[in-house]
A and B are shown apart, each in its own frame.
Chain A
Amino acid sequence: SQTIHQWPATLVQPVGSPLSLECTVEGTSNPNLYWYRQAAGRGLQLLFYSVGIGQISSEVPQNLSASRPQDRQFILSSKKLLLSDSGFYLCAWERLGEDYGYTFGSGTRLTVV
């Protein structure tokens, strides 16, 4: 079956610390993968998307980076977190073909203190 996993579910990190959020997809190959952020009081914002290994496109300049080291793995990182990085982060997988749509991970609630 096709599934998407995202972890951790919650994270509290101090300002200036590094960040690594991981997303993996099972049951499909060469997926299009996305990282979104939902900041408090705001809508969902696309951060990065990737159409293949090593291919990353950034939509918004920010304190974050993304990497795609394997076909079904997408990682969101930061070297030094800011308070403004707090939010709800969602990984998504774009399903192509007849069943076109997006499947989201369960999300990570990040609080930077």
Chain B
Amino acid sequence: GNSVTQMEGPVTLSEEAFLTINCTYTATGYPSLFWYVQYPGEGLQLLLKATKADDKGSNKGFEATYRKETTSFHLEKGSVQVSDSAVYFCALSDLGGGSQGNLIFGKGTKLSVKP
């Protein structure tokens, strides 16, 4: 079945450090891929998405490229800030695979950025 595996946390970085959170997926067909972020005390927010191979999603300095050959969608940011501290979820949607586009999440990676 479809699944998402993402790097386990917690991840602790200093401000301005480079961030990579790995995410790989298993899916039939051509899923859409997402990164969601959950800030402390808030619900999930869409950070970025990519709907086909080689697409690059980007938002707020974060980027992720849909790599079909490696079935990956790693999240990167060149210089993190304290305000980036949150839990990040990688997810896929198998829309078109007959399951009404269910969103399948990874377990989440908690990021803490220290000043």
Contact = CB atoms under 8 A, between A and B. Distances in A.
Q: Describe A's contact surface by its main secondary structure.
A: strand
B42 A106 contact: yes
Interface string B75-92: 000000000000001010
B20 interface: no
Interface residues of A, number: 26
Interface string A93-113: 010100011111111000000
Contact of B101 (A36, A42, A44, A94): A94
**Chain B residues touching A, range:** 20 to 34
A74 interface: no
Given A32-B100, A51-B100, A104 B43 contact: yes
Contact of A49 (B51, B89, B100, B105): B100
A105 B44 CA distance: 8
Nearest to A103: B46
Interface of B: 32, 34, 36, 42-46, 49, 51, 89, 91, 93, 95, 100-108
